Every structure is written in C-alpha cells, then in structure tokens.
Amino acid sequence: MQKVYLDNAATTQVRDEVIAKMQEALAVYYGNPSSTHSFGRSAKTAVEKARKTIAKTLNAQPSEIIFTSGGTEADNMILRCSVRDLGVKTIITSKIEHHAVLHTAEELEKEYGISLQYVDLDEHGNPKLDHLEALLSQDDSKKLVSLMHVNNEIGNIIDIKAIGQLCREHGALFHSDTVQSIGHYSWDVQTVPVDFMTAAAHKFHGPKGIGFAFIRKNSGLKPLIFGGSQERGFRAGTEPFHNIVGLEEAFVKAYEHLGQETETVAALKQYFIQKVKQEIPGAVFNGLSDDMEKSTYTLVNVRLPFDKQKGLILLFHLDMKGIACSKGSACQSGSNLGSHVLTEILPEEELEKPSLRFSFSMYNTKEELDYTVQVLKEFAEN
C-alpha cells in the first residue's frame, strides 16, 4: 500500500542532518550544561551557540530567545506572565486561535478576572482591523493582543505589521503565535512590531518537545517555572541539550534552503488545488487557503461535497489507503467536537460537509498528490 504523509502542519519528518546532530549530542556531549567541568562547559557552549544562531536569523538579541518545550508552553508562559507581572487587564484575541492561546486566556479570565475580548472576523477568517482598533480604544486598561500569524487550520496570513503598529499606537502589548510560520518565512523583529513570538521545532523538520519564545528585551516578564538558574533564570530545569542542538540544526537548514523549499512546496500546493478543482466538482477551499498570496504555501483546507454520513468515514477511508491528513489541528484529534475555526467562519449547513486539511513539505511529490486526489475522486463516486 502506498504511504502518503500530508499532515505536515501537525508535525514534520525530521531531517537526516538533525537526527545526526542529535545522535552526536546524546553520545558525546552528555554533560549537564549547568556543570562547571569540561563536559558541562561543552554542552553549555553548544546551547548558547544555538541561542545566538536563532537570534541572529531573527535579528533579535540572544537574551530575547528562551528555550521551551514547544509552542504551547511558550504561549501559556507569555499570556500568564503578562497578566501576573505586567498588569494586563484585557486580553484581545480571536475565536480561531490555537487552543494554547484560547484556553489559557479563558483560564486567566477565571483566575484573575481579566476582560477577555474577541476581535470580529471577516467571512474568510481574518481579523477586522477597524474592530481591533475600536477594542484597543475603548478604555485605558493595560491590554495584550494575541493573534496568530498563520492560522494552523485554514492557513490565513494576517497583516502582522499593521496589527503590531495598531498595538504600538495604543500602548498595547502584542503576542503572536508564530508556530506555523517560523521556519517557513523570513523574520526581522526589528521591523515587525511584536513583543512576543513562539516557535516549535517539529513544525520545520526538527524534534518534538523543543521550541522557543521570543520575549523582547526589558519586557518585565518574570519566571513561570522556578528552580535553578537555567535560561538566565527565566525557565528553570536542566536543558534538553540534544533537542536544542536538533532545533538549531533544523532552524539553520530551514533558512539555508528557504527560497528553494518555499518554491517547491508552493508548487505542490498549487498543483493540488488545481487537481482537486479539476477532479472533484463542488469542492470548496475554506478560508483563503486556495489563495497563494493570502495564505501559507504549506497547507490547504478543503470542504468536500459529501453528506454527513459519508463524511464520517472519510478520514478513516483515507487512512486505510495510506494517506495521512487531518480534519483539523492534531491537538483536536482526540475530540469529537468539530473544528472551532470552521465553526466561526462557515454557515451551519456547510459544517455538515467534511473538511480536511492537507499540508505539504519538501518530502512530498506530485505523484503522491495524484494518488490522493484519485482516492478522493473514487470515494466521491462510490
């Protein structure tokens, strides 16, 4: 049976070079980075080298990069510490954010009594900037805006510079979950007015369980996890050295080959869109995911012209045919609830039809996409 992996927005295949770096770290550089002997110093040097590499690529300072277990921890840390340490009384977000942001904000509303507000979305799922400005202007409370750069389900790209500028003009902090965009787009934090960003290595062919937060210098945030003095005292706990060097290698390779791989993956996405439109009449792309300019080049979200009963077995059918994709984010795979993103942007009758997210990487081929569309076509005809 052919195996086709089209769930790269959930996680990606680890590069061979990354695996080699991690194996070396596990076998040779096994000292604790906090130890003062040569074994520890070697590990510590590599950790700081990784921090500098990431900072240089983002045009940040090394002290602004804090290693975390991934995007969820980084999102939690930034939102929670902003309320606890910086006097944030209002969080403004949208109802189609990742649950790492949505559920954290909901908990902070319960615990601290903050005001939790949601910016209106247009019919495609993009935040309405005029409504965001109205929310920022309505009172003098300290505000944090949290809006993701690339939506993990429908792929929409927000105007992060315009939103950041609005936040600056109104004295609000700006956090963006950039898990789906770091490693896939160039960044310069000196020109993008964002205070906090988050990343996860496994979204750009690195290991799971490691990521980082960008926290702009002199933010005033204090530690969430206490213990030792790791991460300049901001995040206690022995550094997962093998994961950090894996993150660095994946990050370096992503940006070394960014132009070529962007072109390759974008061509695959464009090809898949054309094939679906050609072979499956009635298929519709959700959000702006078929717009090559306004959505990420890494994914599409397609609504298929099947009834509800047929839709219930579609994902199982694809899995039996060796095709991996998603009906939403991987974080929801254990839930019977539908996509909270599509619920916000689609009329109720359209939610009855199955929607699937297909996400691509440099390891995919046109032949795999041909096979996938053929399987979908046969399913539609039976």
Instruction: Report the alpha-carbon distance of residue 73 to residue 211 in Å, rounded.
Output: 9
Q: Which two tokens stand for residue 62?
A: 């090394």
Which residue is listed with tokens 């908990």?
107
For residue 264, the SS3 value is helix
Instruction: Report the alpha-carbon distance of residue 74 to residue 80 in Å, rounded.
Output: 10
Q: Is 81 a catalytic residue?
A: no
Q: State the CB neighbour count (10 A cutoff) for residue 191.
A: 9
Q: State the CB neighbour count (10 A cutoff) for residue 213.
A: 24
* 301 closest CA partner among 376, 354, 368: 354
Residue 171, phi-psi category: left (phi > 0), alpha (psi -120 to 50), beta (remainder): left
Backbone phi, psi, residue 69, to 5°: -80, -5
Q: Judge whether 50 and 33 are in contact, CB under 8 Å.
A: no
Q: Report the largest interatomic distance among the alpha carbons of the chain, rounded to a whole angstrom.
A: 67
Q: Judge whether 211 and 70 are in contact, CB under 8 Å.
A: yes
Instruction: Report the alpha-carbon distance of residue 129 to residue 226 in Å, rounded.
Output: 38
For residue 42, the SS3 value is helix
76-100-78 Cα angle (round to 5): 25
Read out DSSP for 244-263? HHHHHHHHHHHHHSHHHHHH
Q: Judge whether 147 and 119 are in contact, CB under 8 Å.
A: yes
Query: Which residue in the list 81, 167, 325, 331 is annotated as catalytic?
Result: 331
> What residues are labeled active site?
331
